[in-house]
Amino acid sequence: MQRAGKTHQPFYKIIAAHKTRKRDGEFIERVGSYNPTSNPPLLEVNEAKVMKWLKDGAQPTDTVKSFLRKLGILHKFRLAKRGLSAEQVQAEMEKWSAIQAKKGADKKVKKTKALKKKEKPADATPAA
């Protein structure tokens, strides 16, 4: 990730670079961008370019790897690497998307339950 933007307003370019180059130095190709200051944070990735670089042996940083995992690109790459056909990969990705949507819904439910437990009347006194 290459940092850009102003002070206290970062903007990151997701790039393919040689491992010996500096973080903000020369790069080979830009494959996406990340803007953490927008609400919600904006993440754009060119999936075709990322898949090409992963197939060529590129090693993503930990941060970029987490982004790719959230978007499902890393899962799709691993399925393709196992030798599955395009139709099988597509079917597996649909299953993965359904699971991720269910996990997101479960998190929302857990958050609301946690809030309800915390909410107690301030002026409630125990009965004696």
* Mean pLDDT score, 71-79: 88
Q: Which residues contact 97 (CB under 8 A, 6 or more apart)?
A: 72
Burial class (CB in 10 A: 0-12, 13-18, 19+), 14: buried
Q: Is the peptide bond before 36 cis (omega within 30 degrees of 0)?
A: no
Task: Look at residue 19 and tell me whether its pLDDT is greater than 80.
Answer: no
Split at pLDDT 50, 70, 90, the class of 89 is confident
- pLDDT-derived band at 79, boundaries 50, 70, 90: confident
Which of 34-38, 79-83, 121-125 has the lowest average pLDDT?
Answer: 121-125
Contact assessment for residue 75 and residue 96, using Cβ atoms and an 8 Å cutoff:
yes
- For the chain, strand residue ranges (E) read 2-6, 9-16, 29-35, 42-45
Distance CA 118, CA 123 (A): 14
Instruction: Give all strands of the β-sheet with 29-35 in edge-to-edge order.
Output: 2-6, 9-16, 29-35, 42-45
Q: Rounded to two decimals, what is the model's pTM?
A: 0.69
